[in-house]
């Protein structure tokens, strides 16, 4: 077979036959590696195919060889947006920053590129790296994915242990208003980030707190963003909550069929949840509230067919729809299973991905160079004012043994990084960290 020409390779790419175009570019480069334009084109295709471990070195080499070429003006932004869509924000920032620097004098990036560049830019309040004394190494810190600012997760109600961890010790009861106010005042005074977010939930159901609307108002009066997460299986004070107008409200929905929903919520009524969703929409409209509501839709095995129905309901109510695969938790129980405590490879009651398969899957693409977001960008405060290691843990041994109001932020951070469970969690690949673009096969 005759070798392809450059014109033939370009024509294949323009026609959308990217596999054939990639093969042609690779053959041309093998014959003559001194062609940065072809290397650029092949890198773009590999990125389009999701083969980031191959794409990024090709694009970097092409940039180093011919970055001054005007043709880059058309592709820098596209490369950055593609990487952002793949969840590779650090790489996206790298390329979008180049796009901003190369923009002609007197012009600005398109609004979509500007907004994305802002979201993926490193945060001034976070040190770019941190030393972990438990593991004796330094980790990089990534741009937080869960929030664009520092997060305080305050469990305003302590609840009983979850069904798969009956032996866990948890503080119970309602957080008192005086303690809550002291916590907020310390958050404002310490100013860890310019405008940290306050989330009135962790493990408990905040709607059960009799003074929840007043707590939301207390957060907003201090000029802080207020976020909630609820199963929405409680109707009391729903109208008052809408009037308090939290900034964001997540509805945690575990399935859209009664029999599937009952797997995770044995004593809850899906019909009540759906009715409350409609009431919430009504009350928000009555109050003129601008609360952003989104549905965190837990997707279980066998529940894929329900996704369009949930999306349709969300569209009707003006709520965002974010499906996420359900997985086994809390972290202590997951570690127990991985270390052979309890039933080996159990057949769980919930129709979820087997824990060992889940861990294998997330480890395949996660970065081992980056720190865990759950410890560097959040502080979790229990109902009694004590501080937890992170939002993923549940039992008393993984609390820090420190009171938030009485302990400076720096001391809380030091306690997190010296807690042995962090090293255990990261050893099993369970840390909440970014994908690694340079792991082969991670996105193919």
Do 137 and 105 lie in a common domain? Answer: no
- Whether residue 88 is found in the same domain as residue 202: no
Relative orientation angle of helices 177-190 and 212-221, to the nearest 10 degrees = 20
* 321 and 277 within one domain: yes
Q: How far apart are CA 37 and CA 396, in angstroms?
A: 58
For residue 126, tell me if it sits in a domain. Answer: no
Higher-scoring residue by pLDDT: 139, 333: 139
Which of 92-106, 169-183, 235-249 holds the top average pLDDT? 235-249
For the chain, what is the domain count?
Answer: 2
Higher pLDDT, 354 or 303: 354
Q: What is the pLDDT of residues 34-85, one digit of tens each?
A: 999 999 999 999 999 999 999 999 999 999 999 999 889 889 999 999 999 9
- Domain with 37 in it: what CATH number? 1.25.40.10
Evaluate whether residue 396 is within a structural domain. Answer: yes
Same-domain pairing of 46 and 142: no
Kindly state whether residues 109 and 137 are assigned to the same domain. no
- The CA–CA distances, whole Å, from 164 to 67, 181, 297, 394 equal 56, 34, 21, 11
Q: Which residues contact 31 (CB under 8 A, 6 or more apart)?
A: 3
The string of pLDDT tens digits covering residues 128-179 is 999 999 999 999 999 999 999 999 999 999 875 454 455 556 667 899 999 9
Quickly state the pLDDT bin for 257 (edges 50, 70, 90).
confident
Q: 73 and 178 share a domain? A: no
Note if the bond before 311 is cis, omega within 30 degrees. no
Return the HEC string of 300-336: CCCCHHHHHHHHHHHHHHCCEEEEEECCCCCHHHHHH
What is the domain extent for residue 245? 132-427
* Domain co-membership, 288 together with 394: yes
Whether the Cβ atoms of residue 366 and residue 374 lie closer than 8 Å to each other: no
Q: Are residues 100 and 138 in the same domain?
A: no
């Amino acid at each position: 077979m005759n070798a392809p020409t450059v014109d033939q390779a370009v024509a294949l790419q323009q026609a959308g036959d990217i596999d054939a175009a990639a093969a042609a570019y690779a053959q041309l480069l093998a014959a003559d590696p001194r062609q940065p334009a072809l290397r650029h084109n092949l890198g773009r295709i590999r990125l389009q195919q999701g083969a980031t471990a191959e794409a990024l070195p090709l694009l970097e080499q092409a940039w180093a060889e011919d970055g001054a070429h005007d043709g880059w003006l058309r592709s820098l932004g596209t490369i950055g947006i593609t990487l952002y869509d793949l969840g590779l924000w650090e790489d996206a920032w790298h390329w979008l920053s180049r796009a901003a620097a190369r923009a002609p004098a007197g012009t600005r990036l398109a609004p979509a590129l500007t907004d994305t560049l802002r979201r993926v830019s490193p945060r001034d309040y976070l040190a770019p790296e941190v030393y972990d004394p438990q593991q004796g190494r330094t980790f990089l810190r990534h741009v937080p994915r869960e929030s664009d600012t520092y997060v305080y997760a305050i469990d305003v109600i302590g609840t009983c242990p979850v069904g798969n961890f009956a032996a866990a010790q948890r503080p119970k009861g309602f957080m008192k208003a005086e303690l809550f106010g002291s916590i907020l005042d310390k958050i404002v005074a310490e100013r860890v980030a310019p405008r940290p977010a306050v989330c009135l939930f962790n493990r408990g159901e905040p709607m059960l707190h009799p003074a929840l609307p007043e707590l939301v108002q207390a957060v907003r009066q201090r000029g802080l963003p207020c976020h909630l997460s609820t199963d929405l299986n409680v109707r009391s004070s729903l109208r008052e909550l809408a009037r308090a107008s939290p900034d964001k409200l997540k509805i945690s929905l575990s399935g859209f069929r009664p029999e599937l929903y009952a797997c995770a919520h044995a004593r809850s009524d899906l019909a009540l949840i759906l009715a409350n969703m409609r009431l919430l929409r009504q009350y928000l409209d009555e109050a003129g509230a601008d609360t952003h509501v989104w549905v965190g839709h837990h997707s279980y095995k066998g529940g894929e067919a329900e996704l369009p129905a949930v999306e349709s309901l969300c569209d009707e109510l003006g709520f965002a729809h974010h499906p996420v695969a359900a997985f086994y938790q809390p972290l202590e129980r997951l570690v127990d299973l991985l270390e052979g405590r309890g039933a080996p490879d159990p057949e769980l009651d919930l129709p979820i991905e087997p824990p060992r398969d889940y861990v294998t899957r997330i480890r395949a693409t996660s970065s081992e160079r980056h720190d865990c977001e759950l410890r560097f960008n959040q502080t979790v405060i229990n109902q009694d004012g004590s501080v937890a290691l992170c939002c993923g843990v549940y039992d008393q041994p993984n609390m820090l043994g420190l009171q938030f109001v009485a302990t400076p932020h720096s001391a809380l951070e030091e306690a997190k990084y010296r807690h042995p469970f962090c090293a255990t969690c990261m050893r099993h690949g369970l840390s909440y960290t970014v994908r690694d673009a340079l792991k082969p096969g991670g996105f193919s």
